[in-house]
């Protein structure tokens, strides 16, 4: 008799529970929701598979810049060209990039204080749908600091100093029809992916600064993907690269600070979902973020 009562009570409670659940008043937790809420946020952070540049390509492009661009400039009387803009505090970097790319892509112009000097500046500015500059410029200096420039006369002088000085020498170091790069354009999707990834690493506390490097695309042999896709207009030309700086003011990279997401990213790239960013084993150095378009001409694809 006791067993029958016990069984009846169990069935009553089970029936009540099922009835409540069917009326959307279940006392049981929604398991799918609970799991989603307890998963680490980083599981949902998009991978930077479209903008991540592996070490071997960074090394190759840095080497091409050193052997071909620097050497030509040195022979022409431009020694000690600026190679990098060191350690912009990451919060300041994001502040500028977010302001410029809120609703658009950005242009980054090569510039110089004087025609006969090799000290470069980079001018960051918003770009409209026709790739034209819009609004105020932010000048990036070799020490990593940003300065806002609102005077259009100053801006044009800085651009022209580069075009009439260093660029005239570098035009002879590329077989591209359009000569050396005047600016690098990042479309809205590309700069947004770069910005999100840097902001994510900042939130994790893994980085404290960003170094912006000047590098050069190589020739058809070293840039096999570009050659294969007949994007030869951008070969042997200047571009820029963003790399990470840790809290000890030392360069670091994706591989070191976020190993799991790094492995997932290169797995996507190795599958060919992002074409041509896979190379042989690295000799060292750091990886970075890129895929801007050297201009002129106006872009038809990314690197």
> Which of helix, strand or coil describes residue 79?
coil
Check whether residue 171 and residue 23 sit in a common domain: no
Q: What is the pLDDT of residues 36-73, one digit of tens each?
A: 332 344 456 999 999 999 998 899 999 999 999 999 99
Q: Is 98 a member of any domain?
A: yes
Beta-strand ranges (E) seen in 150-248 are 183-186, 209-216, 238-245
**151 and 11, same structural domain?**
no
Neighbours of 117 (CB within 10 A): 15
Name every residue whose Cβ is closer than 8 Å to that of residue 150 and which is 6 or more positions away in sequence: 136, 137
214 and 265 within one domain: yes
Q: Are 23 and 134 members of one domain?
A: no
Mean pLDDT (the chain) is 82
Whether cis (ω within 30° of 0) applies to the bond prior to 297 is yes
Q: Is the pLDDT of residue 261 over 90?
A: yes
Query: Same structural domain for residues 6 and 63?
Result: no
Residue 301 lies in a domain: no
Question: What pLDDT band is residue 297 in, cutting at 50, 70 and 90?
Answer: confident
Q: Domain check: are 239 and 201 in the same one?
A: yes
Print the domain residue range for 188: 41-295
Q: Which two tokens stand for residue 155?
A: 């801006």
Residue with tokens 């932010």: 138
On whether residue 300 sits in a domain, the answer given is no
- Tell whether 246 is covered by a domain: yes
115-140 pLDDT, tens digit each: 988 889 999 999 998 899 999 999 99
Asked whether residue 181 falls in the same domain as residue 214, the answer is yes
pLDDT of residue 134: 95
SS3 5: helix
- DSSP of 45-66: SPP-TTTEE-HHHHHHHHHHII
**pLDDT value for 43:** 52
């Amino acid at each position: 008799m006791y067993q029958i009562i016990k069984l009846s009570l169990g069935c009553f409670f089970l029936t009540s529970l099922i009835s409540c659940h069917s009326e959307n008043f279940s006392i049981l937790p929604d398991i799918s929701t609970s799991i989603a809420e307890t998963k680490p946020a980083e599981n949902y952070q998009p991978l930077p598979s479209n903008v991540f540049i592996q070490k071997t390509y960074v090394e190759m492009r840095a080497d091409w810049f050193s052997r071909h661009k620097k050497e030509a400039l040195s022979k022409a009387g431009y020694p000690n060209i600026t190679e990098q803009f060191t350690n912009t505090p990451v919060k300041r970097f994001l502040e500028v990039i977010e302001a410029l790319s809120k609703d658009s892509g950005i242009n980054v112009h090569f510039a110089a204080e004087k025609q006969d000097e090799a000290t470069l500046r980079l001018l960051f500015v918003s770009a409209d749908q026709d790739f034209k500059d819009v609004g105020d410029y932010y000048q990036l200096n070799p020490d990593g600091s940003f300065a806002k420039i609102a005077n259009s006369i100053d801006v044009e002088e800085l651009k022209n100093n580069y075009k009439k000085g260093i660029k005239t020498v570098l035009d002879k170091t590329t077989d591209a029809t359009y000569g050396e790069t005047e600016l690098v354009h990042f479309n809205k999707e590309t700069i947004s992916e770069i910005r999100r990834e840097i902001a994510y690493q900042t939130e994790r506390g893994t980085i404290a600064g960003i170094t912006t490097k000047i590098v050069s695309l190589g020739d058809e042999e070293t840039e096999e993907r570009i050659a294969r896709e007949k994007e030869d207009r951008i070969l042997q030309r200047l571009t820029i690269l963003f790399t990470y700086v840790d809290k000890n003011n030392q360069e670091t990279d994706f591989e070191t600070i976020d190993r799991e997401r790094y492995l997932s990213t290169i797995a996507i790239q190795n599958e060919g979902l992002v074409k041509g960013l896979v190379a042989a084993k690295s000799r060292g150095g750091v990886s970075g973020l890129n895929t801007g378009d050297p201009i002129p001409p106006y872009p038809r694809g990314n690197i």
